[in-house]
Structure formats: C-alpha cells, structure tokens
Structure 1
Amino acid sequence: MFKSKKIAGLLFVFTLIMGSAAMAQNPTMPQQQTVDIDVSDAELSKFAKAYQGLRMMNQQVNQKMMKTVQDGGLEVQRFNEIHQASQDPNKEVEATEEELKKHKAILAEIEGMQGDFQKKMETTIKDQGLTVERYQKLVAALQSDQELQTRLQKMMQQGQG
C-alpha cells in the first residue's frame, strides 16, 4: 500500500491555502459555517504576506512534482490516472507492470519531499508572525466571512499584503 495519504495531505494543505484566495475572489461560492474571530488589519496583513509566500511556494512545489513525474518516465496525466485508480478500489486503470513500477518510484520520491515542503510552509507562516494554527483559523474564517474576504482582497490589491 502506498503512503499516498501523505501526498493527499500535502495537496490538501495547498488546496486549503489556495481555497482562501478562491473564497476571497469569488464571494458567490456557497458559504460554509461561520467562524467568528477578530482580525486586526495588522494580522490580516501578516496573513496576506504569508499567503502570497505560500502561493509562490505552491507553484514551485507543483513544478518540482511535475518534473519528478516526468523525470520518472511518466506523463503527469498518466501518473494521475494511475494514482487515482490506486486510491479508489472501485476504479480500475489498465497499467503495465513498468508503469506501476514507475508510479511507485515517483510516489516514493514525492513523499520524500513532503517533510521539506511542510517545514518550508510552516517557516513561511511563522516568518510573518503567525502560528500555523492561527493561519488555519484565518483560512476558515475567510471561507465564511464576507467582510473579512473584502478586507483581504482590498489589502492585497493595495499591495499591503
């Protein structure tokens, strides 16, 4: 069994990071349960800077993961097909023994990178004076607080973040 939960966890973290921007940019998305927290402009600015740093890191990580897949001998789309099938017992994909070996080797290499990515993400957040837990609370609040979304969007447009 692959340790793909780690990969899914890493991708989930990036989805969580990127999800806050989608909510801030698209207020018509369905609202989730309200998270009521007080957020000063100074703290929101720290969040915006951390978010932008994580966004840049996410692009770098995605490029590195894609290069790892390609260097491992599979196209990204094919790797994803095999990987999704390996995660879903109801889904089958025809793959050669060679493709399965390549998938397994690529997955192991990507998993080996995860700890480094996680540390860099935490450092990026902490460098802005936030804890990871507080950052996650702010992400959750942004998903449900229209006023906070608007404040963040204005701040980022004005270059304060």
Structure 2
Amino acid sequence: MFKSKKIAGLLFVFALITGSAAIAQTPAMPQQQKVDVDVSDAELSKFAKAYQGLRMMNQEVNQKMMKTVQDGGLEVQRFNEIHQASQDPNKEVEASEEELEKHKTILAEIEGMQGDFQKKMETTIKDQGLTLERFEKLSMALQTDQELQTRLQKMMQKGQG
C-alpha cells in the first residue's frame, strides 16, 4: 500500500474523529462530474443498509481512536493539530519532543487498526450483496445526483434501508 494512500485513508478517519461527515468520499476526484447509474430500489435498499452499517462502525472506530489518542497522553484536538502540521509543509505547530513522540506512537497504533477496520467495512458491504466497486460507484453517484440522494433519504426515513 502506498504511504500517500495510507495517509489519505487516515485523513478520512481523522475527519471522522473531528465530526466531518463524508462517507466514501474519494480525495482523488478533482472535479465532481455527475455519475450516471441506473439503480433499482432493491439495490438502493442494499446500499442504504450497508451505509447504515458503516456509519455504526465509524462511530465505534471513532470512539476507539479517541480512546487511543487519550490513552496515548494527548487530547484529540492537540493530536489533530500536530498531525495536520506533520502532513502540511505550510502549517506549523509548536510541539514539544514529548508531544511529537506521543503523536508518533499513537499514529502507529491507529495505523495498525486500519487494516481491521478496512476488512470490516468490506464485509459489511459484501454482506448486503454489493461489490466494493458497485458501492463506490453508488457513493460517487450520490455525491452528484440530487434525485438519487432524495430516493435514498426517503428510503432511509421509511426504514426500508
């Protein structure tokens, strides 16, 4: 796995810690063109169930990661400040050697969790009868297709998803 991909995945997870909502958003999409897909209600229902499963899983992972950060001796906000500065050459943060060492240790622990989390995500999607590729395609379509978003929201409100 490429280091940049691993970091992109971690940044997605850190966005989850800080409360940013963006499930299945891919950082490599420079412009959002509408993705046309034909989606039956049955398939959209499968997507909704997988999506809800992933949201629940994300909450669990967020709690685990926040606990890991706190157990490692840093507040979540401080960890994120140090992490963002370590990823962006234009950002600077005053951090002691001790804080930098704690950040490094915590980051290694969180990276270790990522593989398990990825497998659980894949299983959740596959358990609903979708391939990962189809789930990603539907996710991308939902980012740009208002009609599809409305269908999904109505379905989830009715409890079909």
TM-score, normalised by the number of residues in structure 2? 0.85
Would the alpha carbon gap of residues 5 and 137 (structure 1) be closer, same or farther in structure 2, given more than 3 Å must change? closer
Aligned pairs for 1:1-161 within 5 A? 5-12=5-12, 16-17=22-23, 32-161=32-161
Change (3 A) 1:108 1:100: same
How many residue pairs get matched? Answer: 148
Counterpart code for 2:36: D
Deviations 1:103-159 (A, max 9, x none): 000000000000000000000000000011100100111112121111111100000
Local SS of the residue matching 2:34: coil
Q: Per-residue CA shift, 1:38-63, capped at 9, x if unaligned?
A: 00000000000000000000111111
1:69 and 1:79 in contact (8 A); partners too: yes
Q: How far, CA to CA, are the matches of 1:7 and 1:56 in structure 2?
A: 23
The residue type paired with residue 159 of structure 1 is G
- Kindly tell me: are residues 17 and 87 of structure 1, through their superposed partners in 2, closer, same or farther at Cα, counting changes over 3 Å? same
- Name the amino acid aligned to 2:155: M
User: Which stretch shows the higher mean deviation, 120-129 or 139-148?
Assistant: 139-148
CA contact (8 A) 1:37 1:141 kept: yes
- Identity rate of aligned residues, in percent? 88
Distance 1:147 1:154 in 2: 11
Q: 1:57 to 1:6 in 2, by over 3 A?
A: same
Specify every segment of 5 or more residues in structure 1 that has no aligned partner in the other structure, as ranges.
20-30
Rounded Cα–Cα distance in structure 2 between residues aligned with 1:133 and 1:82: 34
Superposition CA RMSD, Å: 1.9
What TM-score does the superposition give when structure 1 sets the normalisation length? 0.85
Cα distance in 1 for partners of 2:150, 2:104 equals 44
Cα shift at 1:32: 3.4
Q: Deviations over 1:17-38 (max 9, x none)?
A: 266xxxxxxxxxxx93111110
CA separation in 1, counterparts of 2:4 and 2:141? Answer: 29
Cα deviation for residue 9 of structure 1 reads: 1.2
Residue number in structure 2 paired with 1:28:
none
Give ranges in structure 2 of 5+ residues lacking alignment: 26-30
Deviates more, 1:36-45 or 1:10-19: 10-19
Query: SS where residue 36 of structure 1 aligns?
Result: coil
Shift of 1:4: 7.2
